C-alpha cells in the first residue's frame, strides 16, 4: 500500500472518538481491496480498486452491488475524515452509465463533499474505468453515528 493510504488510515485511527471501538480499515474496505489514492481535506477523496473476476455477474461485468459498496466505502471514509467520527448512510442514489468488465484492471472511485448541515453530509461521486470513462454517478446523504443509535441496537 502507498504511504498516502497508510497515512489516511493512521489519521482515521487517531480520530476514533474515545471509548469507541472501530476496525480501521473496515472489513468491507479490505475485502473489496479499496486503496486511497488522493485526499483533499474537507473536499474530496479518490480511491481505486481492481475489477476482479470474483466480483463478476453472469455476463462478466462487475456486479452493481460491488460498485455500490465501493462508492459507500469511499463516501464513508471521506465523511469520517471530515467529521472525525464514523457516519452512516441515510440514502444513496446510483446511476449506472456503462458496464464495467471484470478484467482485473483498476478503476477509480471519486467522492466530493457537496454540502454539510448541522447533522447531515451531502456528497457526490463517480466511478471511472481504467480509461477514464464514466461507469456510474452517485449521490449520498450521510449522518454522523451517535452512541444513542448503538444503544438502540442492543435492545
Q: Count how many domains the chain has.
A: 1
Q: Which one, of 5, 34, 142, lies nearest residue 85 by Cα? A: 142
Least confident window among 18-22, 47-51, 82-86, 124-128: 18-22
In this prediction, residue 10 has a pLDDT band, given cuts at 50, 70 and 90, of very high
Q: What is the pLDDT of residue 17?
A: 86
Q: Using one digit for the tens of pLDDT, what is the confidence trace for 14-41?
A: 988 888 889 999 999 999 999 999 999 9
In this prediction, residue 124 has a pLDDT band, given cuts at 50, 70 and 90, of very high
* Angle separating helix axes 3-15 and 64-83, nearest 10 degrees: 60
Q: What is the pLDDT of residue 146?
A: 81
Domain containing 136: what range? 3-154
CATH number at residue 62: 3.10.129.10
Amino acid at each position: 500500500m502507498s504511504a498516502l493510504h497508510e497515512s489516511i488510515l493512521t489519521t482515521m485511527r487517531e480520530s476514533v472518538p474515545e471509548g469507541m471501538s472501530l476496525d480501521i480499515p473496515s472489513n468491507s474496505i479490505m475485502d473489496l481491496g479499496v486503496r486511497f489514492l488522493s485526499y483533499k481535506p474537507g473536499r474530496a477523496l479518490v480511491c481505486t480498486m481492481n475489477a476482479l473476476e470474483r466480483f463478476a455477474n453472469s455476463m462478466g461485468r462487475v456486479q452493481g452491488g460491488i460498485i455500490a459498496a465501493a462508492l459507500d466505502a469511499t463516501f464513508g471514509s471521506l465523511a469520517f475524515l471530515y467529521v472525525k467520527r464514523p457516519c452512516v448512510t441515510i440514502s444513496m442514489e446510483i446511476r449506472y452509465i456503462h458496464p464495467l468488465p471484470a478484467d482485473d484492471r483498476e478503476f477509480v472511485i471519486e467522492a466530493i463533499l457537496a454540502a454539510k448541515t448541522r447533522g447531515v453530509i451531502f456528497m457526490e461521486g463517480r466511478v471511472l474505468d481504467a480509461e477514464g470513462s464514466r461507469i456510474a454517478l452517485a449521490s449520498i446523504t450521510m449522518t454522523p453515528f451517535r452512541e444513542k443509535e448503538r444503544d438502540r441496537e442492543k435492545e
